[in-house]
């Protein structure tokens, strides 16, 4: 009799479980996100889409992210507010372009002469404390900062041949806000237009070129088809860009899903590092669309000296900005002492 009771008790529980399971599964509908990148479709194919595709594949239907490219939901300059207000759930951009209301926003994108090459960025964030500073700043304004990585250096691709600083005077260039502010002292006229309009703007004469990227992007997005020259001097060795999410959207995810997202972002950082690093070398060596030019090193020193003054000015923004500048100075001293391949020009 006791054995029979135990059997009936177990069978009853099994039956309840079998009936309950479908209703539990049905209640767990996918979490859906809208995610916008600063990049247009051609560039986004390499800098953002691999990460979103990896998340969607690995999440097994628990999280579904729809990717939008530059200006498709909101203009890039409104990305922060849209993220903060929950209009979009996630963003890939630099702090500078999306007008983040944080005191460190000028250091995103291309801060003049802050880095020498792509690997400097993860080292600065993971080994020199920038990750903690970025987390602190964005926590204060209601957005969750996730991760930063480097991309390509900031060169000039133009219709006009540049071989001296004097050639920069009067050039109408599509560039980043802080980079444009810095370059204005050399006569550059920064022009702000939607990303996808830049190519046509060169063809119509509204722009003389771009100070926006390295040569890999120039070929990838079509800018090498409408400009003629690529200046080997750069004003910064690597773009600093980040991934951000709305805190409420992030809170919807289980710890397992959050870890999955972070792992896919790290995977994307690695992909971009090799894609840019290899592309810069190959296209400078064998690309046939852009003629390479250079401003002599002695003359270019005027730009590097001006950057030191610019750093001093930006360190006055706040105590936190001063901390960032101190870290950049410390790191640059280290890599200069280390020599090649760290202290690359």
pLDDT tens digits for range 106-149: 999 999 999 999 999 999 999 999 999 999 999 999 999 999 99
pLDDT confidence tier of residue 317, bands split at 50, 70 and 90: very high
Q: How far apart are CA 145 and CA 226, in angstroms?
A: 36
Looking at the fold, whether 39 and 126 belong to one and the same domain comes out as yes
pLDDT of 10 > 80? The answer is: no
Query: Do 195 and 52 share a domain, yes or no?
Result: no
Residue 25: alpha-carbon gap to chain centroid: 37
Percent of the chain, pLDDT > 70?
91
Q: Which of 191, 189, 194, 195 is nearest to 221 (CA)?
A: 195
Structure tokens, 126: 């993971």
Q: What's the whole-model pTM score?
A: 0.90
Same domain, 211 and 254: no
Total number of domains in the chain: 2
- Report if residue 158 sits inside a domain: yes
Residue 22 makes CB contacts below 8 A (sequence gap 6+) with: none
Examine the domain organization and report whether 172 and 314 are in the same domain: yes
The answer, yes or no, to whether residue 6 has pLDDT greater than 90, is no
Shared domain check, 85 and 136:
yes
In whole angstroms, what is the distance from residue 36 CA to residue 51 CA? 12
CATH of the domain at 233: 3.40.190.170
The per-residue pLDDT for range 225-266, each reduced to its tens digit, is: 999 999 999 999 999 999 999 999 999 999 999 999 999 999
Is position 184 within any domain? yes
pLDDT at 22 over 60: no
What the block records as the tokens of 304 is: 């590097």
Nearest to 115 by CA among 270, 235, 269: 235
pLDDT digits (tens, 9 = 90+) for 101-113: 999 999 999 999 9
Q: How confident is residue 21, by pLDDT bands cut at 50, 70 and 90? A: very low
Quote the domain boundaries for residue 69: 30-150+239-280
Which of 259, 280, 301 corresponds to the end of one domain?
280
User: Considering the domain boundaries, does residue 23 fall inside one?
Assistant: no
One domain, residues 146 and 110: yes
| 82 lies in the same domain as 108 | yes
> First CA to last CA across the chain, in angstroms?
87
Average pLDDT of the chain, as a whole number: 92
How large is the greatest C-alpha to C-alpha distance in the chain, in angstroms?
101
Q: Are residues 316 and 256 in the same domain?
A: no
Closest listed residue to residue 144, CA positions, set 193, 91, 191, 97: 91
pLDDT surpasses 60 at 8:
no
Residue 11 covered by a domain: no
In a shared domain, residues 59 and 205 = no
pLDDT tier for residue 343 given thresholds of 50, 70 and 90: confident
Whether 49 and 176 share a structural domain: no
Residue 345 confidence class, pLDDT cut points 50, 70, 90: low
Question: Same structural domain for residues 143 and 91?
Answer: yes
Q: Let me know if residue 161 belongs to a domain.
A: yes
Same domain, 292 and 172: yes
Kindly report the number of other CB atoms within 10 A of residue 278's CB atom: 11
Residues forming a β-bridge with 154: 236
Give percent of the chain with pLDDT exceeding 90: 90
Residue 300 has pLDDT above 70, yes or no: yes
Using the 3D structure, point to which of 257, 280, 303 is the last residue of a domain.
280
């Amino acid at each position: 009799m006791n054995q029979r009771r135990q059997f009936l008790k177990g069978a009853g529980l099994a039956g309840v479980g079998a009936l309950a399971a479908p209703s539990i599964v049905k209640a767990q509908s996918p979490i859906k996100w809208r995610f916008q990148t600063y990049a247009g479709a051609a560039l986004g194919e390499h800098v953002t889409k691999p990460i979103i595709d990896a998340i969607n594949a690995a999440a097994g239907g628990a999280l579904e992210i729809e990717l939008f490219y530059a200006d498709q939901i909101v203009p890039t300059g409104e990305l922060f507010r849209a993220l903060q207000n929950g209009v979009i759930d996630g963003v890939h951009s630099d702090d500078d372009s999306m007008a983040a209301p944080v005191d460190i926003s000028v250091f995103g994108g291309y801060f003049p002469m802050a880095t020498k090459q792509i690997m400097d960025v993860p080292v600065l964030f993971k080994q020199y404390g920038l990750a903690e500073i970025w987390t602190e700043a964005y926590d204060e304004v209601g957005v969750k900062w996730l991760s930063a990585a480097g991309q390509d250096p900031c060169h000039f691709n133009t219709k006009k041949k540049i071989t001296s600083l004097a050639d920069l005077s009067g050039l109408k260039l599509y560039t980043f806000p802080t980079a444009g502010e810095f370059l204005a002292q050399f006569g550059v006229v920064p022009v702000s237009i939607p990303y996808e309009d830049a190519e046509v703007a060169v063809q119509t004469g509204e722009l003389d070129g771009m100070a926006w990227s390295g040569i890999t992007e120039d070929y990838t997005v079509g800018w090498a088809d409408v400009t003629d020259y690529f200046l080997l001097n750069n004003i910064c060795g690597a773009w600093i860009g980040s991934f951000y999410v709305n805190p409420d959207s992030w809170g919807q995810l289980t710890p397992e899903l959050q870890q999955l997202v972070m792992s896919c972002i790290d995977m994307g950082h690695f992909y971009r590092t090799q894609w840019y690093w290899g592309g810069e070398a190959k296209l400078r060596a064998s690309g046939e669309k852009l003629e390479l030019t250079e401003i002599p090193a002695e003359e270019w020193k005027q730009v590097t000296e001006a950057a030191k003054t610019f750093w001093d000015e930006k360190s006055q923004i706040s105590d936190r900005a001063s901390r960032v500048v101190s870290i950049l100075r410390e790191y640059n001293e280290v890599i200069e002492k280390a020599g090649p391949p760290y202290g690359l020009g």
